[in-house]
A and B are shown apart, each in its own frame.
Chain A
């Protein structure tokens, strides 16, 4: 099946620093990737839709200047949490859309746990 990787899997940083998370589709091209965040024992909340070669589309309430998304190639999207604060601590999960004549499925990365001290 299609594989999506995320790097790093875990990051701890000091308040005020920026953190970049990478999402890669390893064996397929993805013009569309998605970024979610998940708080403990809660569901996934869509943050933004990342489109290759164009600006990301953010969900209501998500600060685009806080969460910078870049989708520079068909296999890589990055999420940068700028000036991170403790309330940004969460589990961030990306997915990549694989679609064709017979399929339209999102494949999820393993997630990145961000802890801001």
Chain B
């Protein structure tokens, strides 16, 4: 079953603008991860944030995590056409197998 809900489902912005995507989840987590998927391709791991972290940066990416609200956000700054893709959050639940539960995803379109 899906745990994460992402908002918005689709986002279209102009190149150079910032893109913000949100993810909410329902149960306690060990970590939350963000992935990118280009159409018809596999997933690319972007960033992992642990449950005891509140914010993390990686290049143009900024991820926040609010465990009290069970939500996370992914900010992509200075967007580029190549950022056009679907973005998924995935929550890692407690346990050794590190099963991931994926959200529905946000389809991001960057217009040149």
Contact = CB atoms under 8 A, between A and B. Distances in A.
A88 B23 CA distance: 29
A34 interface: yes
Nearest to B1: A60
A25 to B, nearest CB: 13
Residue with the greatest number of chain B CB neighbours at <10 A, chosen from A4, A93, A104, A111? A104
Contacts of B100: 34, 46, 95, 106
Interface residues of A, number: 26
B43 A43 contact: no
B97 A49 contact: yes
B98 interface: yes
Given A32-B97, A34-B100, A106 B45 contact: yes
Interface string B97-109: 1111111110100
A55 B105 CA distance: 31
B78 interface: no
B41 A111 contact: yes
Interface in B22-47: 31, 33, 35, 40-45
B21 interface: no
B40 A113 contact: yes
B49 interface: no
Contacts of B103: 43
A104 B98 contact: yes
B63 interface: no
B44 A46 contact: no
Given A43-B2, A49-B97, A91-B40, A107 B104 contact: no
A94 B14 CA distance: 33
Given A32-B97, A46-B99, A46-B100, A93 B105 contact: no
A105 interface: yes
Nearest to A42: B104
Contact of A44 (B41, B45, B88, B92): B88
A46 B101 contact: yes
B48 interface: yes
